[in-house]
Amino acid sequence: MTGSWARTAVGGLLAGAVLMGTAGCSDSGDNPVSGAASEAASAVASAAQGVSDAASEAADKAEKQLSEIKDGADARDEVKLGDATTDADGRTTVPLTVRNTDGSTRSFAVQVEFKDGDGKLLDTVVVTVSDVPGGRSKDGTARSTHKLSGTVTPSVRTALRY
């Protein structure tokens, strides 16, 4: 919900800047109150961009990790996610279970995305669950790379069995 918060904050700051700017109008063109509000709005917009940049960097890292896996089979249907919670460090965690439907011991790489209530990507991570015996299941945990706030919905983007 960080994106919604940022949009709301930016909207509020911009509205405040307009009100303060019109209330403090002068012919000299100097309006330090309006300038301060404008600077604050820019700072909030930059903070919101920082969240987008963090999610983009995490997605790039996840893509690189997954591209290093050779001969991986699509295993999205073999992954089940639990409910997202917040740990003591403020990071979002979600338990996951992989089920190895292959006859041999395999490992899994699971990309979990964390999105806000509007479906905007907040973060993404790759979890490796190693050495799952054939026909068996094994648990893992996906943990966000930074603190996420508001409603966070996890989903499996990619899952590879190798």
Q: Is the pLDDT of residue 14 over 50?
A: no
Strand order in the sheet with 106-115: 73-74, 153-161, 106-115, 121-132
| Res. 94: pLDDT tops 70 | yes
> What number is the average pLDDT over the span 84-112?
96
**Interatomic CA distance for residues 147 and 131, integer angstroms:** 30
Integer Cα distance of 138 and 93 in angstroms: 17
What does the pLDDT read at residue 102? Answer: 95
* pLDDT for position 107: 96
pLDDT value of position 96 = 98
Helix (H, G, I), strand (E, B) or coil at 57: helix
Q: Are 49 and 70 in contact (CB under 8 A)?
A: no
pLDDT, one tens digit per residue, over 105-161 is 999 999 999 999 999 999 999 999 999 999 999 999 999 999 999 999 999 999 999
Q: Is 152 exposed, middle or buried (0-12, 13-18, 19+ CB in 10 A)?
A: buried
Check whether 9 has a pLDDT greater than 80: no
| Residue at token pair 């405040």 | 16
* Tens of pLDDT, residues 40-88: 333 333 334 445 677 778 777 777 777 778 889 999 999 999 999 999 9
pLDDT per position as a tens digit, 20-33: 333 333 344 443 33
